[in-house]
A and B are shown apart, each in its own frame.
Chain A
Amino acid sequence: MQKRRKLGRGVAIVGAGMSKFAMFKDKDSKDLFAEAYREMLASVDKGVDPADIDALYLGNFSNDYFAHQSHWGPIISDIIGHAPKPATRTEGACASSALALREGVFAIASGFYDMVLVGGVEDMSKRTTEEVAEGLALATVPYEGRVGFTFPGVFGAVATAYFAKYGASREHLMNVTIKSHNNAPLNPKAQFPLSIRDMMNAKMESMKKKGMPSPEWKDEKAFLSDPKANPTVAWPMHLFDCCPISDGASCALLVAEEIARNFTDDPIHVVGIGQGSGRGFHASADMTYFEATRYAAQEAYGLSGLTPQDVQFSEVHDCFSIAEILHIEDLGFFKPGEGYKAVAEGATRLDGPKPINTSGGLKCKGHPVGATGTSQIYEVWTQLRGKAGKRQIPIKDLRIGGAHNLGGTGGTCTFTILERR
């Protein structure tokens, strides 16, 4: 059993921003972070003097490899005019910026700082697909990478174990993909703001224009079952089960709760934070759940005094379709082996009882790995403040949302619970 945690003092979010996520040939990490930072400043209702920011915590997984440049803390600190104040880089693979958030919360809760900028950045698209696959595989467990496992490969293996244990199939993964793609067109920051239906129609239109016979897809699942439209990446993971390669940045401004109202009448409180570590397949009792997520969730629920039922909606780390199903079980929203059925019944849709990944998720919003954690915080913050526009969750009295971030093959998992009071 975990010890019950507590924070020294409360922490609230008073601003947040993110760049558009996409593959940018002409933008690097500095450009993207500056974009996110400017939006964050503009989002602070009563304004903020940037000179009051005490410290920066920046998540970045591997710009060292992707962009051949390391040591991004001070580089980003300089571009936003924050140096010589301290900047610290956090690394937890795809959960790097969730760790930045956590460090920022601790720094304020301890009383050391009053205002901290947390964020993340990643610049991946200047590499080939194979090189990115290898770069990401640096965050697998060594025994996995050595025998040829890629990230999609690891999650493909997880899917085969889940299918065998619970009787789910590829069709159930398609439900996740179709749901995420229905949310994405409502998010102006998304890399793929298109529904599966939009993409089918575009493809048929282009075939017609070229004078080629148009494929006959009776519905989205027929499209996703067509190996030409949706080729295999790592069986049973196909192209539309996988998040894309992305560039992007995101950030959030944290302050001590006692001064939050100086900046906004609508601060969002960080009420639960949790983090866990995973061990890899060779040491996992069961490959159909992530031990680190369950640990992180227990810590976050313990700190907040809340239960999975209290969390009205959540962003979860859907790097692959199967991952979303595991996470919604590990976070306690659905029982083990029941997640895929809940998705099939529409429970996780934008208008369902437990909306999941209203942003479109990593699959459609994009996954610049180091930026993902705080971009999830951005989405939950935006939803809780009722400013999500067309993708605003239609639940009355939206008060509590979650953000689940996973790094590597489950090596680092976090869960954060935010509350509007």
Chain B
Amino acid sequence: MEQRPFSDTSYNQFLNEEKLMGSRCKGCGARYVPPRPICVQCHKSEMEWVEMKGNGTLAAFTCITVAPTFMVAQGYNRKNPYYSGVVDLDEGGRVDARIEGLDPAHPESVKVGMPMKVRFLHREGVEPKETYLAFEPA
């Protein structure tokens, strides 16, 4: 199995490779996405990588019209809002993600609890490579 360190750098590298990866504590079996180097349940540091299937449900969401500058640079603004959300993974654990495939004109129609599946959004024209974790309705 992978020998990469259990870090955000590794997590982001895996996203570039279109894999949603977490860490599992060899001591107590607790599972973390994004990965943690230290188990916050049993405080041991023996971890192994686990790949998530990328299925889950929408736990919370927002549709953002006043965007920070790095999102404005990607074309988002009052006229072109975007969704961010929180997704509960089927295997357990919860991740922050961009949410695609929802109508930005009708956030009132979006329902918490909707089934979601993973999608990897590769940011255009940036070096080094950057990939956003995203989900869309399943």
Cα A266 to Cα B84 with chains together (Å)? 50
Known: A160-B60, A161-B60. Contact between A143 and B67, CB under 8 A?
no
Q: Cβ of B65 and Cβ of A233 under 8 Å apart?
A: yes
Q: Pick the residue among B72, B78, B96 that contacts A147 (CB under 8 A).
A: B96
A164 to B113, CA, bound (A): 9
Question: Which residues of B in the span 1-35 have a Cβ within 8 Å of any Cβ on A?
Answer: 8, 33-34
Tell me if A281 and B64 are in contact (CB < 8 A).
Answer: no
Map CB proximity to B onto A261-295 as digits: 1 under 8 Å, 0 otherwise: 00000000000000000001111100100000000
**Chain A residues closer than 8 Å to B75, beta-carbon distance:** none
Q: Are B62 and A237 within 8 A (Cβ)?
A: yes
Residues of B within 8 A of A152 (CB): 62, 64, 66
Closest B residue to A161 by CB, please name it: B60
For window 141-176 of chain A, which residues contact chain B by CB distance below 8 Å?
Answer: 141-150, 152-154, 156-158, 160-161, 163-164
Indicate whether B101 reaches chain A with its CB closer than 8 angstroms.
no
A233 to B71, Cβ gap below 8 A? no
Give which listed residue, A154, A160, A233, A281, contacts B94 with CB less than 8 A.
Answer: A281
B86: interface (CB < 8 Å): yes
Q: Which of B71-124 contact A (CB under 8 A)?
A: 71-72, 76, 78, 81-82, 84-86, 93-98, 107-108, 110, 112-113
- The verdict on B68 contacting chain A, using a C-beta distance below 8 Å, is yes
Distance in Å: Cβ of A131 to nearest Cβ of chain B: 6
A133 at the interface (CB under 8 A from B): yes
Asked if A353 is at the interface of the complex by the 8 Å CB criterion, the answer is no
Q: Which A residues are CB-close (under 8 A) to B62?
A: 149, 152-154, 156-157, 160, 234-237
Interface residues on A, range: 35 or more
Residues of A near B66 (CB, < 8 A) are 129-130, 133, 150, 152, 233-234
Among the listed A147, A235, A287, which residue makes an inter-chain contact with B97, where contact means beta carbons less than 8 Å apart? A147
A134 touches B61 (CB 8 A): no
Instruction: Name the CB-closest residue of B to A242.
Output: B66
Query: Is the pair B34, A130 in contact by a Cβ cutoff of 8 Å?
Result: no
Q: How far is the CA of A148 from the CA of B132 in the complex (A)?
A: 10
- Is B96 touching A281 in the complex (CB atoms < 8 A)? yes
Asked whether B67 lies within 8 Å of A130 as measured between CB atoms, the reply is yes
16 A-B contact pairs sorted by A residue (CB < 8 Å)? A143-B96, A144-B96, A147-B98, A147-B132, A148-B71, A148-B84, A148-B132, A153-B64, A160-B61, A164-B60, A231-B78, A234-B66, A282-B86, A282-B94, A283-B94, A287-B59
Spell out A's residues near B (CB within 8 Å): 129-131, 133-134, 137, 141-150, 152-154, 156-158, 160-161, 163-164, 231-237, 280-284, 287
